[in-house]
Amino acid sequence: MSARWDEQPRLRTMNRDDLPAVMAVEREIYPFPWTEGNFLDSLAAGYDAALLEFGGHLLGYRVMLLAADEAHLLNLSVAGAWQRRGYGRQLLLATMLDAQRSGARVMLLEVRPSNEAAIALYASAGFRVLGTRRGYYPASGGREDARVMSVTL
């Protein structure tokens, strides 16, 4: 399917039927992807999961946990073919707005210190480093720390 000239990328709720497409992106872009079970658990738990689509293409997706006045961004992803076109920033800003509308006052996330693209994106949206979680991620040589970042909404 192709996009109409006046069509804009749109955010919609993720559901179970979307998981084959989501998993294809997940496996493409992460050396240590989420499993389908991780997504199923997130949907079953009622986490806020949404897709960014354009002209029938899956551009990216996010999963966030909203708890009291905190939003925890658990997954933010843009498909390889659509990266570096501003969709990651669009998805992040829409996610921050959704969190704020849901009553969150702060958003937190973990990111690999080696993930310079994501760190630059988060910093440009106002996120600052809060601390480090030691050995948080699996890595090829063992484990990698996580940088914890947060922003006031």
Q: Which residues are at the interface with ligand COA (CB under 6 A)?
A: 29-30, 76-78, 83-89, 111, 115-118, 120-121, 124
> Nearest distance from residue 74's CB to ligand COA, in Å?
9
Can you spell out the DSSP letters for 75-100? EEEE-GGGTTSSHHHHHHHHHHHHHH
Q: Please measure the distance between the N-terminal and C-terminal CA atoms of the chain and give it in whole angstroms.
A: 36
Q: Closer CB to ligand COA, residue 103 or residue 126?
A: 126
Please pick, among 26, 53, 61, 122, the residue that the annotation labels catalytic. 122
> Nearest distance from residue 118's CB to ligand COA, in Å?
4
Could you confirm whether 137 is annotated as catalytic?
Answer: no
Non-local (6+) Cβ contacts of 54 within 8 A are 3, 7, 8, 9, 10
> Nearest distance from residue 36's CB to ligand COA, in Å?
17
Q: Closer CB to ligand COA, residue 147 or residue 153?
A: 147
User: Residue 74 in contact with residue 42, Cβ under 8 Å?
Assistant: yes
Could you confirm whether 122 is annotated as catalytic?
Answer: yes
Which DSSP category does 16 fall into?
G
Residue nearest to ligand COA (CB): 88
CA–CA separation, 74 and 63 (whole Å): 5
Q: Closer CB to ligand COA, residue 24 or residue 117?
A: 117
User: Residue 52 in contact with residue 9, Cβ under 8 Å?
Assistant: yes
> Nearest distance from residue 136's CB to ligand COA, in Å?
11
Please pick, among 36, 70, 87, 110, the residue that the annotation labels catalytic. 110
**Residues involved in catalysis:** 110, 122
